[in-house]
């Protein structure tokens, strides 16, 4: 038997950065994402979000790919949001997402960051955070 632990911090936003997650719907959506992921065998360690984006830590198994895992989470949750009439217009997540590996030693720090999203975004907008991720992880250098 192989033993594998691959932690990934994933972040994705709403299409056109629409501030869709509200106090009224945020936890229903997050709980649905967690329940659906569990049903699909996807392990979400921690999840939270703010207005127009979601952060989560997932643990990939040996036979899971990141792109398929994110597709399952985002695709099913947008379908569920629309099916249940949580949005007056058609709801969509943005196509792009961020994903970076997390070492065991940094897990609690990343969990704290995700847990405190509302507090964090009192001082920084999603656009500022988005641009910070691009710069911090040198994503622009790796564009095709």
100 to 11, 59, 122, 126: CA distances (angstroms): 9, 12, 24, 17
Is the pLDDT at 144 greater than 60? The verdict is no
The whole-model pTM stands at 0.91
Distances (CA, A) of 2 to 5, 22, 44, 63, 125: 10, 41, 20, 11, 41
Q: Which fold has domain 6-142?
A: Alpha-Beta Plaits (3.30.70)
Question: Structural domain boundaries of the chain?
Answer: 6-142
Non-local CB neighbours of 16 within 8 Å, separated by 6+ positions: 94
Cα diameter, the chain: 49
End-to-end CA distance of the chain: 36
Q: Which helix (H) or strand (E) holds 62?
A: none
pLDDT in tens, 72-109: 999 999 999 999 999 999 999 999 999 999 999 999 99
């Amino acid at each position: 038997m192989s033993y594998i632990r691959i932690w990934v911090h994933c972040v994705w936003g709403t299409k056109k950065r629409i501030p869709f997650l509200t106090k009224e719907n945020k936890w229903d959506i997050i709980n649905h994402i967690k329940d659906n992921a569990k049903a699909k065998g996807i392990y979400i360690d921690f999840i939270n979000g703010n207005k127009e984006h979601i952060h989560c830590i997932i643990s990939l198994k040996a036979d899971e790919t990141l792109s398929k895992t994110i597709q399952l989470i985002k695709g099913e949750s947008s379908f569920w949001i629309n099916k249940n009439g949580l949005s007056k217009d058609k709801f969509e997540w943005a196509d792009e997402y961020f994903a970076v590996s997390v070492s065991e030693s940094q897990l609690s720090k990343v969990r704290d960051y995700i847990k405190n999203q509302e507090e964090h975004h009192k001082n920084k907008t999603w656009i500022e955070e988005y641009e910070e991720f691009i710069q911090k992880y040198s994503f622009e250098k790796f564009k095709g």
